[in-house]
Amino acid sequence: MNLLEIKGLTIQYAMRANTIHAVNNVDLTIAPGQTLGLVGETGAGKTTTARGILRLIQTPPGKIVSGEVFFEGRDLLKMSGAEMRAIRGKSISMIFQNPMSALNPILTIGEQIAEVIHLHEKCSKKEAAERSRNMLKMVGIRPERAGEYPHQFSGGMKQRVVIAIALACSPKLLIADEPTTALDVTIQAQVLDMMRALKNKLNTSMLLITHDLGVVAETCDAVAIMYAGEIVEYGSLERVFHNPKHPYTLGLFGSIPSLDKVVERLSPIRGLMPEPSALPKGCKFKERCDYSCDDCEKEEQVLREIELNHTVRCMRAEGGGF
């Protein structure tokens, strides 16, 4: 049984002038202990998908139009507000994108970790404070620093604190929204290594949102490539990395520097993602695709299974590729 199963999730933002189609009919699954990488450029709908799982879409203007989000067999979208508050931070935790703004500047880091523990574990404040110090030690921060404030920590240390808050109640699912984007390369590696070790120690499943395929290769078991609010390629890490089939996925790999090839210039994906308020009919990637044809204009693309554990939203991929 899958820990998380998303079926047909559609999220829109109703603005005065138009409607933003942020997430369109997304299907995803995460098994117990599995790490799924959700990859795509800025504006693809990755963060909106993650917020949709936890029902953190600001309403108005946002609205979950349709879909089902099953967590341990229960549909999160049908739960009451009280039931969702009991799940957030306890069973499902989220590491938000910017550690600089994720922490309260007027509370000590010890208080912020202890607050989550005290709320969900129903323990005394003294016990919560002691457990918060243990969490700091687990993420590589001296427990004596529990009484210090966020401004006294570097960016990398703040991210460690945010991770400690997210893992304080040993959640079954951790959603990490680009957890290393604001960090330099050396600290990125340290934070990722720490997250991997803690995930294995606590047997936590993870949804890792990123635009860095290198991070995915080091961390994930499965990959979902997202474009214009849709999953365009989905499969195991081995299938997607060794046999990419969607033109967008091929473009992402083509824009990565290689140590094996000597080239003067990289091969970027031309053009820009379509406006989510005016998505084209047919294939959403056709304007940027080197292989588009008349059928791409006419037909709405669906995910097709081209091999075991590998689906692609492209009619040409099924017939042997390009």
User: What pLDDT does residue 268 have?
Assistant: 80
Residue 280: how many other CB atoms lie within 10 Å: 14
Residue 117: how many other CB atoms lie within 10 Å: 24
User: What pLDDT does residue 182 have?
Assistant: 67
The three-state DSSP-derived secondary structure of 241-299 is: HHCCCCHHHHHHHHCCCCCCCCCCCCCCCCCCCCCCCCCCCCCCCHHHCCCCCHHHHHC
Q: What is the DSSP letter of 303?
A: -
Q: What CATH class has 4-318?
A: alpha beta
d(CA 213, CA 207): 14
Tokens encoding 229: 């609010």
- For residue 176, the cross-strand partners are 95, 208
User: What pLDDT does residue 321 have?
Assistant: 57
* Residues lower than pLDDT 70 in the chain: 182, 318-322
Tokens encoding 90: 């306890």
